[in-house]
Every structure is written in structure tokens, then in C-alpha cells.
């Protein structure tokens, strides 16, 4: 069935370093891949997305890479800050199925000052 999973459940980085969070997916029919940030007790917040026909997209301090050959997605955060500490989820969206999002398990990012 459809699934999106993450390689690592936790990631600890030093403030100022770059962070890389990885994700594997299984549904080749997904239209978009999205990264969400979730702080404790809150709903997920959109970070960045990438269409399935792209391989890289950059935002402010974040870059998403998509490798369709190996069905792998990654989120790179430059100059990680304490405020980046949260759980990060990758998700895939299938637009011909009501735009539903299928989420992975999540990676908890901890930034050490």
C-alpha cells in the first residue's frame, strides 16, 4: 500500500550546522512531496514542497531534494537554529484522490546551542 517513511527517528545537530532529514516513499503516482514542521502540541506547519517532475527546490534556509530513481526525499536546513527544533514530517500528496496527504513517521530534530 501507500506509505511514506523516514530513515531516522531522531537527529541532533549543533547550532549553526546544516541539518539533513531523509525520507523514503513508495507511491510513484504522488504529485507533490511536502515537508512539514510540527512543534509540540501544535498542528503541522508547511515548510516547502516539490512537484514530482522536479528534483530540487530552494526556500529560505531550506532545500528539498527529490530522487525519483530511488524514491528518496530530503530536507536540508542551513545554519540550523534552536527554533528549528521540532518534529519534521515528509508527506506525499495525490491530487486525483482529493489531494490527500500521506505522512511518514517523523524525525525529531534537536538543536544544541
Taking the C-alpha atoms of residue 13 and residue 32, their distance in angstroms, rounded to an integer, is 28
Pairing type for strands 56-58 and 100-103 reads unpaired
Beta carbon of residue 34, minimum distance to other proteins (angstroms, whole number): 8
Taking the C-alpha atoms of residue 37 and residue 41, their distance in angstroms, rounded to an integer, is 12
Of the pair 5, 63, the CB lying nearest other proteins is at 5
Give the footprint of other proteins on this chain (CB under 8 A).
Answer: 4, 31-32, 34, 41-46, 49, 51, 89, 91, 93, 95, 98-106
Of the pair 47, 77, the CB lying nearest other proteins is at 47
Beta carbon of residue 64, minimum distance to other proteins (angstroms, whole number): 14
Of the pair 24, 101, the CB lying nearest other proteins is at 101
Which among 107, 100, 45, 44 has a CA at the least distance from the CA of 73? Answer: 107
Amino acid at each position: 500500500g501507500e506509505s511514506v517513511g523516514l530513515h531516522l527517528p531522531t537527529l541532533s545537530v549543533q547550532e549553526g550546522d546544516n541539518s539533513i532529514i531523509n525520507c523514503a516513499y513508495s507511491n510513484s503516482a504522488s504529485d507533490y512531496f511536502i515537508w512539514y514542521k510540527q512543534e509540540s502540541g501544535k498542528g503541522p506547519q508547511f515548510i516547502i514542497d516539490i512537484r514530482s517532475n522536479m528534483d530540487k527546490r530552494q526556500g529560505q534556509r531550506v532545500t528539498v531534494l527529490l530522487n525519483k530513481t530511488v524514491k528518496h526525499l530530503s530536507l536540508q536546513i542551513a545554519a540550523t537554529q534552536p527554533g528549528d527544533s521540532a518534529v519534521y514530517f515528509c508527506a506525499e500528496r495525490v491530487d486525483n484522490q482529493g489531494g490527500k496527504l500521506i505522512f511518514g513517521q517523523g524525525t525529531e530534530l534537536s538543536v544544541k546551542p
